[in-house]
Structure 1
Amino acid sequence: MYSYNDTNVPLKTFQYLNKYDPPENMKQAKRKTEKWSRDMWGLGCLLWEVFNGPIHQSSNLRDTSKFPKSLSSHYLQCVNANPMARPNPSELLQSLKERGGYLSNTFISLNLKIEELQLMEADRKNHFFVELNKSLDLFPDSFAHHKVLPHLLNVFEFGGAGPTVLAPLLKIGKLLPEDEYQRKIVPCIVRSFGSNDRATRLNLLQHLDQFIDQLQPSVLNNSLFGQIVTGFTDTVPTIREHTIKASLLLAPKLNDSNLSQLLKFFAKCQLDEQAGIRTNTTICLGKIAPHLNSKTRDRVLVSAFTRSLKDPFPPARSAGIGALGSTLSYYTPVDMATRIIPSLSHMTVDKDQSVREQTFKVLRLYVDKLEEHSKKMEPSSDGEGIEQTEGASSSVASWTAGWVSSISKYVSTSSSAKPETTPAAPPTSSYQPSQRQTQEVKTTIRTTSEERRDNKWDEDQWEDFGNDDTKKGTTHSSSGWDDEMWESFEPTPKKTTPTGRAPPSSSMKLSKNKSLSPPPDTPPGDDFWSRLETSKPSTRGRDKTTPPP
C-alpha cells in the first residue's frame, strides 16, 4: 500500500507479479488515470482467475467464454486499456446489485443485512430471521457455522431478538459437533422454554423435531419436562394442542415417573372444551402406548379409549376406535371379550357412518384374535377359576336335580291315586337346598363379580388418575346378576307342621270359619280326610281322577 500522491512507488520484489500490471505502467509516457484505475484492473484480473484459473500472460484477459452473461460486460469495463474508462467501484457495485445483476441474490443481500443486525428495529429483525431461515440451505455449511451463527448467538444472548431467531439458530445447530451443540445451543433451548413469552414457547414446540435428538434424557427429564408440561394447562388452546403433539417426541426419552405425570395431563385433556384437543389426545395416547410399561397400559388404555367412544364429536369417537385397533396386541383375551368388544358393539349403531364403518373393521380384528386364542386354549387352562366354576355348577346341578326328582315323585304319586279310595297325603319335597349349598352359590357369584371388578380400571379410576383431588366414583359390578336377583331364583322352603305335613291352604275351611285341622296332638285319620274331601273347592276343568294338590 502507498499513498496515491506518492511518486516514489516501490518496486515489486517478485517478478512473476508483473503479469498483473496495467498496460499504462508498461509505457514510458504517463497517461491520465483515475485513483481507482489500477484497482479496477486488479479486480478484473481476479475475476478472470476465479472463472478460468491462473493468468499465464496478459493476452489471456481477452477470453470471456467462461464468464456469466450478467458479469461479462462489467468485467470488460474493468480491464479496459484506457484507465479513464474503467468504472467507479461504487457505481460498479450498484450496477451489479440491480435486478437481474450478478450480485442481485439472496445470499449477498442477507450477508449485507446481517452486518447491520444490531441496528435494526424489532419488526425488521423478525422479517430478516424468517427470510434467513428459508435461505440457509443456500449457504455453505462452513460459512453458516463460522459467519452467521456467531451473529445469531450474540443477538439471542443480549436480547432484542424475537422468537423467530430460534428457527435459524436450531437449523445451523445441526451442523455443529455434539460437544459444541451441547455447549452453545442447549443452554439457549432451556432458557427459551423458561420464557413467559407464549410466542417463544410455541416456536420451540413447533420446531421440537429439529433438536429433540440432540437433547440428553437427563436434561429433558430434569430441566425441560417441568417447563414443557405447563403448556397442558395454558389458557391458549394452540399452546395446549402443540404441547400434546410434542408428547409424541418426548415420550421415548421420558422416565416412568414423568410418563405417569404425562398421562395425568392426558386424562384432563380428554375432557377439554376443544373437540380437536380431545381428539388429538386420544390419537397421541395410542401412539405413545409402546413406551408405557405393561402395568400402566393395563390400567389406562382400555378406560381411556372407551371413554373417547362416548365423546359427542365424531372424529373423537373415531380416534378412540382407531386407537383400540392399533393397540390390540396389548390386551388380554379376557379384556377383549368382557370390556372392549361390548363397548365397540354400541358403536355399530352410531349416528355417524364413518364411525360405524371403522367399528366393524376393528371388531373383526378382535373377533379374529379371540378365535385364534380359542383354538390354542387347553381344557384346564383356567386353573383356580375352573375349580370355582365347577364347584358352583355342582351346587346348582345338585339343587336342580333334587328339585326335579321331587316334582317327578309327586306327579307319579298323584296320577296313581284312585278316587274311590282315600287319597294319601301329598308328599313333601324330598329335597330342600341346605343353607351351605345356597351360600356356596352366592359366594361363587360374589367371587366372580369381585374378580372382574378388581381387574377393571373403569372410567372413575381413569378420572382419578387425571385428578388426584377428585373423589372416586362407585364401581359397578360387571357380573350381570347381583345377590338380590340371584336370591329371587332360589327355592323357598315350605313351613311344616310338627307332624311333618304341609298346612292346609286358607281356602280349605269349613263353613262358619271353622278350621278342618285336627288337634295338634292327634294325627289326621280317615274321618278328617273324608270331611276335607266333602268341603274341597270346585274341580271344574280338572281331571277327576286326580285329587287337588
Structure 2
Amino acid sequence: MDYLRNLGSAAVSSLVQKSGLTLPFSLGSKVASYEGNSIWTLYEGTKRDDGSQISVFEFDASQPGKRTYLPLAKNALRKLRTVRHPDILKFLDAVETDTTVYIMTERVRPLAPAIQERASKSAQEKEDWLLWGIHRISIALAFINENCASTHGNVRVDSVFISPSGEWKLGGFEVLSSPKDEAAVLYSMGSVLPDASTYASPEIKKGGWSTLKEHSTGAADSYALGLLIHFAFNPSHPLPPTAQPPHPPPAASSRGSIPQAVFPSYKRLLNPNPKSRLSSKHFLEFGTAETAGDGSGFFASNRLVKVCAGLDGFNIASEAEKTSLLRVLKESAASLPPEFASYRVLPSLASALEFGGASAASILPLVLQLGKNVPPQEYSSVIMVHLIKLYASPDRGTRMALLDHLQDYSDKLDKKTVVEKIWPNLQTGFNDVVPVIREATVRSIILISDKFNERIINNDLLRYLAKMQADPEASIRTNTCILLGRLGPSLGYNTKRKVLVPAFTRALKDSFVHCRVAGLMALMATIECFDIDEVATRVIPNMSFALLDKEKLVRDQAFKAMQLFVKKLEDHAATMVSPHTVELY
C-alpha cells in the first residue's frame, strides 16, 4: 500500500506498518444494504481516540474495475471537506493514499432501507417523515446550487443518508462541480457514475454532461430531486415515463403516494425544458410559503418541519411561542418517530434548559418523558449533562422542577457527580426565602442520600436539618423529622447517639400535631439504631410524656411506640442471667 499523502487532520495519528495502514478508526460491520449501490463500500466504525460511533466510506482503486472511479472518489473527498451545511453529510476526517480513500463521517445509514422500514407506519406518519426529509434535501440543494454556485450532479436515493435522529443528509459528492472549476469532473466524467444515464435529466441525455455549462447550476439537480420524490413516496414503482424520451409530463394516475399538494410542484421539477423547470430554491420557497397559491405550504404545514423550526429558534422565541411549541410536543410526543424524539427534539430541549427562564419548568418534564427511550449508555451525554448544569441556576422555577422530578433521574446520578456538582448547589435550597423551595430540598435528600460521602451525611447535612427543625413552616419541620428517621440507619454510630434522640424529642414537643406523630414514627423506624441501655435510659423517658398528649392521634401513636420499645426491653431482659440466685428453703 502506498505511503500517506494526505491525513484528514493533524489530530489523526496514522502509521504505516509492515501489515499496511493503521487507521484512526476501527472498522465494524459492512453495511450490506449499501453494497453495490455506489463506488463506495460503507462500514460502521468507531473512532479510536474517543470511541464514538462513525461511518466509514471506503474506496479501493486496486479492486477490479474500480480504477476508473478514482478521480470521482478524490473529488468527493475534496468537496465534502469544504462544503459544510447542517443538511449535508458531516465530514469528520479522512485518510487518502494514491489508490485508497477513507472518509469518516457522522454515523449514518442508507435512505432506501430506512424508507422500507416505515412501510408499516400509518400513511400520515410516513408522509410527515418523507416530506420532512425532502425538505432537508431541498435546503441542501438550494445551498449547493445558489450559495456554492455548483451542481451536485448525483442526486439519487443512494446519495442520501439517515442520521441517528432520522434526519436526511445529502452525500454523494463524486461529481459535485462548479462551472468555474477548470478541473470539474462533472462535465468530463459525469457519465462514468454508475447508472448515470438512469438519473440524467433530458438535456444531458440529449447533449451530454458538458451541456450543463449552458444552463443554471441547479437545472440537473432539480430534475433529479423530482425523481427522488418519486422514489421516496413510491419506492416499489419504476421510474416515471418522464424519465425517458420524449419525457411526457407525469399523469395524475401515476401520482401513487405522492401527496396531492406536492404533485403540481413535482411535475414542474420534472419539466424536460431546463429553462422552465422549477429550481430547488423555488420548490423550497413554494413549499414553505403558505400564501403562494394552490398547492403551496406543504412544508410549512408539516408537523416535523414545524417542530424543527420551533426548536431552531427556541432560545429567541417569545414565551408564548415557546409555550405553544411545548404544548405541541407534549401532545404529539407518543407519535413522533422515536429517533427524531430522542436525537433531534431531546438534545435541543435539553440544551434550551440551560438558558432557564419561565419555560424551563415546562421543558424539564418533557425532557424526562422523551428521555425514557434513550439507551442507558447515552443517557448521561444526552440528558444528565444538561440537568446537572441546571442545579447552578438561580431561577426558582427551574430549581423546583429539578427537585420535583428528581425521582425520575436520581438513579442515573453517580456518587462523584452528587458530591462535587449536585450537593454544592442543592444545599443552598435549605436557606431559600421561599418555603416551597426549602421543603422540596428536604424531600429530595432521601433520593440521593446513598450517594453522599461520610462528611456530607454526618456533618454538613445534619447541620442543615437541625436548622430545618426550627423552620417557621410546620410541613418543613415534619418532613425534616421524617427524613431523619429514614437517614438514621446510615448515620455513623457516634452520630446516631448524639443526634437521633434529641432530634425526635424536639419533634415530640412541636406545636404541629403531625410533626409530633412523625417524631414517634421516626423513633419506631430507627429502633435498631439504639443500644438497649439507651432505650431504657433515654428513648422511653423522653417519649413517655407523649402518652398524655392532648391530641388522641398522638396518644395512640405514642402507646404503639411505647409497646414496641418495652417489648424490646422485655426480650432483652429474658436473656439476662443474674449472677446471684436466692434459694428458698
Contact 2:197 2:205 (C-alpha < 8 Å) held by counterparts: no
Match of 1:331 among 530, 539, 549: 530
- Pair 1:113 & 2:295 matched: no
Question: Aligned AA for 2:360?
Answer: T
Cα distance in 1 between the residues matched to 2:220 and 2:482: 71
Shift of 1:182: 7.2
Question: Aligned AA for 2:260?
Answer: S
- Pair 1:279 & 2:478 matched: yes
Shift of 1:230: 2.2
Cα distance in 2 between the residues matched to 1:139 and 1:57: 28
- Pair 1:321 & 2:321 matched: no
1:147-546 maps to which residues of 2 (within 5 A)? Answer: 149=347, 153=351, 156=354, 164=360, 167=364, 171=368, 175=374, 181=380, 186=385, 189-190=388-389, 192-209=390-407, 212-259=410-457, 260-342=459-541, 345-375=544-574, 377-380=575-578
Q: Kindly provide the CA deviation profile for residues 64-96 of structure 1, in whole angstroms up to 9, marking residues without a partner as x.
A: 78x5xxx74336556669969999765555679
In structure 2, the partner of 1:32 is none
Instruction: State, as a whole percentage, how many aligned pairs show the same letter.
Output: 29
Shift of 1:17: 6.3
**Which region of structure 1 is more displaced relative to structure 2, 160-169 or 106-115?**
160-169
Instruction: Decide whether aligned partners of structure 1 residues 252 and 163 sit closer, same or farther in structure 2, where only a CA change above 3 A counts.
Output: farther
From the two aligned structures, give the one with the greater helix fraction.
1
Contact 1:43 1:78 (C-alpha < 8 Å) held by counterparts: no
- Pair 1:58 & 2:257 matched: no
Instruction: Decide whether aligned partners of structure 1 residues 297 and 63 sit closer, same or farther in structure 2, where only a CA change above 3 A counts.
Output: farther
- 2:446 is paired with a residue of what secondary structure? helix
Contact 2:388 2:421 (C-alpha < 8 Å) held by counterparts: no
From the two aligned structures, give the one with the greater strand fraction.
2
Instruction: Decide whether aligned partners of structure 1 residues 232 and 19 sit closer, same or farther in structure 2, where only a CA change above 3 A counts.
Output: same
Shift of 1:301: 1.9
Cα distance in 2 between the residues matched to 1:88 and 1:169: 34
Unmatched segments (≥5 aa) in structure 1 = 28-35, 381-385, 394-549
Of structures 1 and 2, the larger Rg is shown by 1
Instruction: Decide whether aligned partners of structure 1 residues 365 and 117 sit closer, same or farther in structure 2, where only a CA change above 3 A counts.
Output: same
Cα distance in 2 between the residues matched to 1:38 and 1:222: 58
Instruction: Decide whether aligned partners of structure 1 residues 151 and 204 sit closer, same or farther in structure 2, where only a CA change above 3 A counts.
Output: closer
Cα distance in 2 between the residues matched to 1:342 and 1:63: 92
Unmatched segments (≥5 aa) in structure 2 = 1-144, 152-178, 180-185, 207-217, 244-249
Contact 1:305 1:323 (C-alpha < 8 Å) held by counterparts: yes
**Which region of structure 1 is more displaced relative to structure 2, 179-188 or 326-335?**
179-188
Cα distance in 2 between the residues matched to 1:26 and 1:179: 49
Instruction: Decide whether aligned partners of structure 1 residues 163 and 95 sit closer, same or farther in structure 2, where only a CA change above 3 A counts.
Output: closer
Cα distance in 2 between the residues matched to 1:110 and 1:169: 14
Question: Aligned AA for 1:324?
Answer: L
Cα distance in 1 between the residues matched to 2:545 and 2:302: 63
Cα distance in 2 between the residues matched to 1:312 and 1:160: 39
Cα distance in 2 between the residues matched to 1:234 and 1:54: 64
Shift of 1:201: 3.4
Shift of 1:280: 1.0
CA RMSD of aligned residues (A): 5.4
- Pair 1:74 & 2:271 matched: no
Question: Aligned AA for 2:431?
Answer: T
Contact 1:347 1:359 (C-alpha < 8 Å) held by counterparts: yes
Contact 2:365 2:405 (C-alpha < 8 Å) held by counterparts: no
Shift of 1:251: 1.7
Shift of 1:290: 2.8
Question: Aligned AA for 1:298?
Answer: R
**Which region of structure 1 is more displaced relative to structure 2, 324-333 or 266-275?**
324-333
Q: Kindly provide the CA deviation profile for residues 78-133 of structure 1, in whole angstroms up to 9, marking residues without a partner as x.
A: 6669969999765555679x9x9897575432211122235424664576567667
**Which region of structure 1 is more displaced relative to structure 2, 78-87 or 128-137?**
78-87
Cα distance in 1 between the residues matched to 2:288 and 2:476: 55
Shift of 1:237: 0.5
In structure 2, the partner of 1:467 is none
- 1:324 is paired with a residue of what secondary structure? helix
Cα distance in 2 between the residues matched to 1:141 and 1:72: 24
Shift of 1:337: 4.2
Instruction: Decide whether aligned partners of structure 1 residues 78 and 18 sit closer, same or farther in structure 2, where only a CA change above 3 A counts.
Output: farther
Question: Aligned AA for 1:109?
Answer: K
- 2:470 is paired with a residue of what secondary structure? coil
Cα distance in 1 between the residues matched to 2:378 and 2:346: 19
Cα distance in 2 between the residues matched to 1:271 and 1:43: 71
Q: Kindly provide the CA deviation profile for residues 334-393 of structure 1, in whole angstroms up to 9, marking residues without a partner as x.
A: 444444445555445544444444444444444444443344x1314xxxxx89xx9xx9
Q: Kindly provide the CA deviation profile for residues 22-61 of structure 1, in whole angstroms up to 9, marking residues without a partner as x.
A: 999999xxxxxxxx99989866654554455354353899
Q: Kindly provide the CA deviation profile for residues 463-510 of structure 1, in whole angstroms up to 9, marking residues without a partner as x.
A: xxxxxxxxxxxxxxxxxxxxxxxxxxxxxxxxxxxxxxxxxxxxxxxx
Question: Aligned AA for 2:261?
Answer: H
Contact 2:546 2:555 (C-alpha < 8 Å) held by counterparts: yes
